[in-house]
Structure 1
Amino acid sequence: MLLTVTHTTRYSFAEKVSHGLQRLRLKPKTTHGQEVLEWRMDLVGARPEASYDDQHHNHIDLVSIEPGVPEVVVTCHGTVRTIDNNGVTGMHTGHMPLWCFLRPTPLTRAGNRVRQLVASVDADRDDTLNFLHALSGAIGEQIEYVPGETDAATTAEQALVAGKGVCQDHAHVFISAGRLLDIPMRYVGGYLKMDGLVEQEAGHGWAEAYVPGLGWVGFDISNAICPDERYVRVATGCDYSEAAPVTGIAVGAGETELDVHLSVDEKLVGQQQSSGGGGQQQVQGG
């Protein structure tokens, strides 16, 4: 599948910025199941300072905010060819050893509710893949998908107690539970082409577990599927904070308003007009 992505992030500042830096994780890489054919980033109100790969092998663009500007606009355009690997992204690569993905983080540290969840899953723990599918289903049943009930600082334990959340919360609970059983787990941020929809409110998030013999395998708990050709992986981390698309500081900005515009569509080869994929279940963004 050829997927075209247009992602615009606009920050509007109430006051004049005296100094600001932003770390952008917005450029996907060619990897198992996807090939980046083209990708361009345009900046308004900011200028590039450096580009590098972080400890998770994510591509990072470091940009500085021009002093005094009323807003910063980051627009990405790209085309990615994807295939369906049944969620399998392959063996581990990068600078981080697998044991790092067993460590709890502030967002994924297990509490009593996560431990109770793991104990309630009726599946053979020696069959790792089957257990993870059962765990994914259990999380989907216990956390209703409700936007606006949580934010980027909500922990896995808090989301499970509330029983409401979005894709980030589903992924964090899944990661927290898996690490209790010594399964390496990581967060994935990226894009999802939703059936019948082009315009989206936000990017998407899911989780990957390291399964012996298969490597990293993706689980989209929010949609009860393993990622297929509709997904574009952009960044990974031990939790959302290490895979967030934009992080940074703006000194003197006052109140900041954020506006995101995202479209993900299928590009039909040899045709000028794009259309959504057909014949598959409706899925939701995170």
Structure 2
Amino acid sequence: MKLKITHETSYSYDTPVEALVQSLRLTPSVHEGQRVCEWHITVSSGQRGVAFRDGAGDWIEGWSVRGPVDTVTVSINGMIETRDTAGVLRGHRETVNPIVYLRDTPATKADEALIRLARSVKGDDALDLSHKLMAAVAEAITYTPGVTEASTSAAEALELGQGVCQDHAHALIACARECGLPARYVSGYLHTSVEGKPHDAAHAWAEIHVGSLGWVGFDAANACCPDERYVRLGSGYDAQDAAPVRGMAFGISVESLDVRVHVEEVQQEQ
């Protein structure tokens, strides 16, 4: 599948800020399931700084903006070819030992309810257990936009019984770690939902390390493994750690955010 992606994030300030620094994890991962045809990142009035690939295999770019400035826009325009690898992350080079992803964070720490949910699931092996954990989380948390916030933890989402893809990913990570399986949060894009509805938004899912297969993606929000509709950007312990854009503004001001994402399938030439 060939996908055209446009992603625009605008930061507005009620009072101009003196400067802005950002760390961007917005370049698609290098692995067998996707190939970048073209990819352009721009930051309005920004200057690109140091760029590097971290131990998890993610490409990080530093950007800075000199003020005074009241609006900063981060824009992505790209084309990428994807193929279905049944969720298996093949050909992705990284140096971090998977066992580090057994570490809890405030967003993924399992409370008694999450522990009960994890322990209620039995599997024939790590892969089977991971699929069943995904199904259990999908059943326990109904996809409902607008009821949770960026700061909502996995435990809070499970108590509500509602949430979005971030909450599903956090809950699945918590359950997998409780079962002794390394798990991490993945940020990216999704072309359509499993029902075929357009999904013009950034997306998130979990990856679980299942022995000889290595990292395998599990999207509890859609109860499936990532296929050719998914574009992987980067990973981390949780949503905050894997955030595509992280930064700091210098000055006293109130920030507002506007995000627009469009993922479109492009017909490939015969």
CA offset digits 1:84-139 (Å, max 9, x no partner)? 11111137741311110111122111110111111222x33x42211211111111
Further displaced range: 101-110 or 228-237: 101-110
1:29 positional shift: 2.7
For the 8 Å contact 1:13–1:253, the answer to whether it is kept is no
For the 8 Å contact 1:91–1:214, the answer to whether it is kept is no
SS at match of 1:3: strand
Paired position in structure 2 for 1:41: 41
**Paired residues for 1:182-197 under 5 Å:** 182-194=180-192
Letter in 1 for 2:6: T
Q: Distance in 1 between matches of 2:65 and 2:149?
A: 25
Q: Distance in 1 between matches of 2:245 and 2:172?
A: 23
The alpha-carbon distance between structure 1 residues 118 and 55, as it changes in their structure 2 partners (threshold 3 A), is same
Letter in 2 for 1:262: V
SS at match of 2:89: strand
For the 8 Å contact 2:57–2:92, the answer to whether it is kept is no
Poorly superposed stretches of 4+, deviation over 2 Å: 90-93, 195-199
SS at match of 1:247: strand
For the 8 Å contact 1:92–1:215, the answer to whether it is kept is no
Paired position in structure 2 for 1:110: 110
Give the length in aligned residue pairs.
268
SS at match of 1:241: coil
Letter in 2 for 1:138: A
Paired position in structure 1 for 2:237: 238
**Paired residues for 1:1-286 under 5 Å:** 1-90=1-90, 93-121=93-121, 123-124=122-123, 126-194=124-192, 200=200, 202-270=201-269
For the 8 Å contact 1:38–1:79, the answer to whether it is kept is yes
Query: Percent of aligned pairs with the same residue?
Result: 42
1:158 positional shift: 1.2
The alpha-carbon distance between structure 1 residues 253 and 38, as it changes in their structure 2 partners (threshold 3 A), is farther
Normalised by the length of structure 2, the TM-score is 0.94
Q: Distance in 1 between matches of 2:60 and 2:168?
A: 26
For the 8 Å contact 1:92–1:216, the answer to whether it is kept is no
CA offset digits 1:179-229 (Å, max 9, x no partner)? 1111111111001101655572x3000001111221111111000111100
Any stretches of 5+ residues in structure 1 without a counterpart? 272-286
Q: Distance in 2 between matches of 1:182 and 1:149?
A: 30
CA offset digits 1:61-91 (Å, max 9, x no partner)? 1111221111001111111111111111137
Letter in 2 for 1:23: S
SS at match of 1:135: helix
Q: Distance in 1 between matches of 2:258 and 2:169?
A: 24
For the 8 Å contact 2:32–2:92, the answer to whether it is kept is no
